[in-house]
Amino acid sequence: MTRKIDIQGHRGARGLFPENTLEGFLAASALGVTAFELDVGMTADGVLVVTHDPALNPDIVRDSTGDWLDGRGPTIWSLTYAQLTSYDVGRLRPGSRAAALFPDQKPHDGARIPSLAAALKALPDTRFTIEIKTEPSHPDWTATPQALAEATLNVIDEAKAAGRVIVEAFDWRVQRHIRRVHPAIRLAWLTRPETTLKSRLWWDGLEASSSVPAAVAAQGGPVWAPDHTTLTEAEIAEAHTLGLFVLPWTVNQPDDMRRLIAWGVDGLISDRPDLALDLVG
C-alpha cells in the first residue's frame, strides 16, 4: 500500500492489553504501534488522569483488597489522585461485557490509572490523540470543559508535546476554548449520531446542519473523527473536499478496516491496532 494510513491504538490497545494504562501503552508500542488515542479526566485535586469513564467501571476496577467493585464506583472528579491510584485496573472482570468483547486481552495485575503527564513521559516519541471527557447533561460528573482544556494544555506544554498531540472531544466547548487560547494545537472534532441529534447540547449551542463534515470544517477542523458505523463513502469524499483529515473510530473488524481504507479514510482508531497495521503493511 502506497498511501499512508494513520493507525491509532484505542485506549492503548484494549483488545490486547488493559485499557488506558502505561503497561498497555508500552506493550502495544513494543508491537509497533506508534500512535494512541486515550481519554482524560480530572481528579478532585486537579491531576489530569488517563481514564475513559466518568466513574470507576466495575468491569475493570478492583479495590485495594482485590475485590471487584459492587456496581458503578465513585466519579473520578470526587477522588484525589492518591485515592484513585489505590484501585487496580489490570484485568477484565470475568463474565463481564468487556471480557466478552475482548477475550484476547492479557491481564497485568497491579496496573493503575496513570496521569497524562506520566503517559507523555513514558512514550516520548509516540503520538497521542487526547480525548477530553465531559458529560454536558451531567455537569457535576466532571470538571468544566474549560478547566479540563486548560489542564490538558498545561500538561502538553510542560511535556513539550504540542507537536505530537491532537486534542479532541464530543463536547465542542473544549475545542472552541482551545482554539481561542492555544491555536497551535491540532484539534479533532468527534461526532456520533447521538451528539449530532442533540447538537445544541454537544456542539456548544450550534444547530446541526445537513452536513456534519461541513459543520466540522466551519469550526476550522482540521480533523474529523466520526463513528465508523454510520460513516459513508460520500461523507469521506465531502470531508476531503473541505480539507479535513478523516479519522474514524472504533474500527476493530478487518472487513470494516478494508472497506474504510478503500473509501479513502486517512486513519483508523482501533482496539486491535495490530490487525490494522498488518493490513496496511
pLDDT tens column, 90-125: 999 999 999 999 999 999 999 999 999 999 999 999
* Enclosing H/E stretch for 201: helix 199-202
Q: Confidence band (pLDDT; 50, 70, 90) for 126?
A: very high
Instruction: Please check the confidence at residue 1 and state whether its pLDDT lies above 60.
Output: no
Secondary structure, 3-state, 123-184: CCCCEEEEEECCCCCCHHHCCCHHHHHHHHHHHHHHCCCHHHEEEEECCCHHHHHHHHHCCC
CB within 8 Å of 1: residues ≥ 6 apart: 261, 280, 281
pLDDT score of 37: 99
User: CB neighbours (10 Å) of residue 225?
Assistant: 26
How much of the chain exceeds pLDDT 70, in percent?
99
Cα–Cα dist 81/47, whole Å: 6
pLDDT score of 265: 99
CATH number of 6-280: 3.20.20.190
Cα–Cα dist 200/176, whole Å: 14
Cis peptide before 222, with omega less than 30 degrees from 0?
yes
Cα–Cα dist 36/238, whole Å: 26
Mean pLDDT computed over 125-150: 98
pLDDT score of 209: 84
Question: pTM for the whole thing?
Answer: 0.98
Q: 8 has which bridge partners?
A: 269
pLDDT score of 40: 99
Cα–Cα dist 217/202, whole Å: 16
Give the pLDDT confidence of 216-261 residue by residue, as tens digits: 999 999 999 999 999 999 999 999 999 999 999 999 999 999 999 9
Label the pairing between strands 223-226 and 127-132.
unpaired
Q: Confidence band (pLDDT; 50, 70, 90) for 281?
A: confident
Instruction: Please check the confidence at residue 145 and state whether its pLDDT lies above 90.
Output: yes
Tell me how far CA of residue 206 lies from CA of 136, 182, 280, in angstroms.
14, 22, 37
**Nearest alpha carbon to residue 10 among 32, 39, 42, 31:** 39
Domain locations in the chain as residue ranges: 6-280
Instruction: Please check the confidence at residue 80 and state whether its pLDDT lies above 90.
Output: yes
Cα–Cα dist 89/104, whole Å: 16
Give the pLDDT confidence of 8-51 residue by residue, as tens digits: 999 999 999 999 999 999 999 999 999 999 999 999 999 999 99
- Write phi, then psi, for 274 (nearest 5 degrees): -60, -40
Across the chain, mean pLDDT equals: 98
Give the pLDDT confidence of 168-226 residue by residue, as tens digits: 999 999 999 999 999 999 999 999 999 999 999 999 999 998 899 999 999 999 999 99
How much of the chain exceeds pLDDT 90, in percent?
98
Look-up of cell digits 470475568: 94
Q: 240-243: long-range contacts (C-beta < 8 A, 24 or more apart)?
A: 240/264, 242/213, 242/214, 242/216, 242/217, 243/217
Instruction: Please check the confidence at residue 263 and state whether its pLDDT lies above 80.
Output: yes
Cα–Cα dist 183/266, whole Å: 23
